[in-house]
Amino acid sequence: MQSTTSRSRRERPAKPALSRAGIIATAVAVMRAEGLEHVTMRRLAAELDTGPASLYVYLRNTAELHAAVLDELLGFVGLVPDRSAQWADTIVRMLWSYNGILSGHPGLARSALVTRPAGPNYLALVEGLLTLLREGGIPDAQSAWGVDILLLFATSIALEHGTRRQVMDADEDEEALEHAIHQATTSNYPTIAALGGDLLSGTPEARFGWHVRVLLNGMAMTPRPPLESEHEGLGRS
Amino acid sequence: MQSTTSRSRRERPAKPALSRAGIIATAVAVMRAEGLEHVTMRRLAAELDTGPASLYVYLRNTAELHAAVLDELLGFVGLVPDRSAQWADTIVRMLWSYNGILSGHPGLARSALVTRPAGPNYLALVEGLLTLLREGGIPDAQSAWGVDILLLFATSIALEHGTRRQVMDADEDEEALEHAIHQATTSNYPTIAALGGDLLSGTPEARFGWHVRVLLNGMAMTPRPPLESEHEGLGRS
DNA sequence: ACCTGAACACCGTTCAAGT
DNA sequence: ACCTGAACACCGTTCAAGT
């Protein structure tokens, strides 16, 4: 089993030709097995039995690779309608599902934040959210701007929690903040001192649910400003 | 001027001793001159005329370095009260200032998202926001959970826009999404097709302002759920 | 067109040894 | 304690040359 001379050449089943789809499939496999941090051009090239330069025929750069992996993963977001539930509950659950998928791979959350996803599965998610917002009676103009922040929120939380889960020093950071908050005196930071532990209270799920409801309530009742010229600043609202 | 023999040794003013503060000051200088991506352990070591290993006496790792730089920068967030403005306008402006600082250095935004900042300048920002929320009549329990999402939002937007500004392919991503949206047919993605261009309308400032107002309105009217046991899921709200 | 080896220009972090 | 050179184990991307 260890000898490499037994079959003269090509031990593996005849080294399949390269293709974008094949590269991405390999990327997903490596990610599931070892995490996104191992999904590098060099590593993938080694996996596909070639040099890193070969991959640049199919992908412009690493960002494009990660974006492709992301859309692949988004195929697993639960988009089932569930007519029995309240529309708001359904949105919370849908975003929680999206969040859960990204939490496992915070590098993908980072990718989603940075590269303007435009893959079919991402669009399906946007479509699903817009449908539910309409069903909930949110005016279209408000949904159009609101869907963005719903996804931004779920993505950021995934990046935040996901990274902390896989970085070792995360607990120390958490403790440092807790310490700082409990250290806050009335003269230092009076309001932080007054609110104290409540700033960090609640489970991630509970906070997530409340935050999404805040967004939904807010976007239902906040009228859109008129679209003004490009040069408008924040001087007055 | 080019000869190195003219003063036997130490050309620079007597190579100052290493210190955490000195390292961070150098880091800020390099960042201002060349961007955060050049603030690496190796580069800083070279700048300080030593080897990379020396820095590990003062900093656990690169993340700690970036966190220290971040708090340094947050000293420039405009925290001036401005009693004449509405409290909500003041919050928008404060977050916009915070956002602007991070937008210039998206790596710092990423750091803020990932490392639970706990430096004095970050706490001052939280304190300032909490004070304004109180002034606006938001119940304390809602402020306590709400301040988090206000900062999360401003940070994510900075990461999103800041990265896109400095990455070359950003325009292509934007175009790809625009194309996908205009491609959406009634059979594909009916609601996306219906909303069309309004999904991407508005200036960044206008969207930012509206989004913050959504958050403020939402957090004013969304009651906090009771703090339940740790094992509560999202099954029902 | 597609594929490749080799090179360029870097990284973070650790270790053993020095002062 | 503080500091260091050298090493380990990697990166992304480009280039010139091959098929």
pLDDT at residue A9, rounded to an integer:
35
Q: Confirm whether A8 is domain-assigned.
A: no
Length of chain A: 237
Question: For residue A12, what pLDDT is reported?
Answer: 45
Looking at the 3D structure of chain B, how many domains does it have? 2
Indicate whether A104 and A141 sit together in one domain: yes
* Interchain CB distance below 8 Å, B134 and A164: no
User: Is B185 among the domain residues?
Assistant: no
Q: Would you say residue A186 lies in a domain?
A: no
Q: Tell me the residue range of the domain where B42 lies.
A: 15-59
Are A130 and A34 in a shared domain? no
Q: Kindly report which amino acid residue has its CA closest to the C1' atom of nucleotide D10.
A: A42
Contacts with A93 from chain B: Cβ below 8 Å: 234
Contact B206, A232 (CB under 8 A): yes
- Residue A215: list chain B partners with CB under 8 A: 214-215, 218
Half-sphere exposure (CA, 13 Å, Cβ side) for B218?
27
Average pLDDT, chain B: 87
In a domain, A194, yes or no: no
Q: What are phi and psi of A83, to 5 degrees?
A: -60, -20
pLDDT at B103 over 50: yes
Residue with tokens 């900075």: B158
How far apart CA A117 and CA A66 sit, in angstroms, is: 11
**How far: B11 CA to D5 C1' (Å)?**
22
Q: How many helices (H) and strands (E) does chain B have?
A: 10, 0
How many C-beta atoms lie closer than 10 Å to residue A162's C-beta? 22
- Write down the pLDDT at residue B167: 73
Q: Touching check for A156 and chain B: CB below 8 Å?
A: yes
Confidence at B119, pLDDT banded by 50, 70, 90 = very high
**B103 within domain boundaries:** yes
Residue B92: which of A1, A233, A139, A184 has the closest Cα? A233
Q: Which residue of B has its CA nearest to A197?
A: B144
CATH number at residue A41: 1.10.10.60
Backbone angles phi, psi at A8, to 5 degrees: 50, -70
Q: Which of residues 19-58 of B touch A (CB under 8 A)?
A: none
Please check whether residue A85 touches B, CB under 8 A.
no
Check A195 against B164: CB less than 8 A apart: no
pLDDT confidence of residue B168: 64
- B48 lies in the same domain as B150: no
Chain B residues 11-40 with Cβ under 7 Å of strand D are: 17-18
d(CA B118, CA B123): 6
Chain A: closest CA distance from residue B230 (Å): 6
Residues B45 and B156 in one domain: no
The residue with tokens 């003062």 is B58
In terms of domains, do B159 and B211 share one? yes
Quote the CA–CA distance of B237 and B234 in Å, as a whole number.
7
pLDDT of residue A22: 94
* pLDDT over 90 (residue B150): yes
Q: Does B117 share its domain with B214?
A: yes
pLDDT of residue A197: 86
Residue B164: pLDDT band (50, 70, 90) is: confident
Residues B48, B4: Cα–Cα separation, whole Å: 18
Kindly report the number of other CB atoms within 10 A of residue B234's CB atom.
17
- Residues A50 and A95 reside in one and the same domain: no
* Residue B143 forms part of a structural domain: yes
For chain A, which ranges sit under pLDDT 50? 1-13, 231-233, 235-237
A52-71: pLDDT as tens digits: 999 999 999 999 999 999 99
Instruction: List the single residue in A with minimal CA-CA distance to B223.
Output: A210
| Nearest alpha carbon to residue B23 among B160, B54, B4 | B54
The pLDDT value recorded for residue B170 is: 79
Which residue among A145, A155, A222 sits closest to B217, beta carbon to beta carbon?
A: A222
* Dist CA A195 CA B103 (whole Å): 30
**Residue B161: inside a domain, yes or no?**
yes
Q: Which of residues 103-122 of A touch B (CB under 8 A)?
A: 110, 113-118
Tell me if A114 and B60 make a contact (CB, 8 A cut-off).
Answer: no
Is the same domain home to B96 and B210?
yes
**Quick one: average pLDDT of B226-233?**
61
Same domain, B47 and B156: no
Q: What is the CATH number of the domain that holds B170?
A: 1.10.357.10
Same domain, B32 and B116: no
Query: Same domain for B96 and B211?
Result: yes
- Return d(Cα A63, Cα A116) in angstroms, integer: 11
Helix (H, G, I), strand (E, B) or coil at A40: coil
pLDDT of amino acid B82? 75
Please indicate if any CB of chain A lies within 8 Å of the CB of B209.
Answer: yes
B85 and B33, same structural domain?
Answer: no
Asked if B143 contacts B133 with a C-beta cutoff of 8 angstroms, the reply is yes
Q: Which residues of B touch A145 (CB under 8 A)?
A: 198, 201-202, 207, 210-211
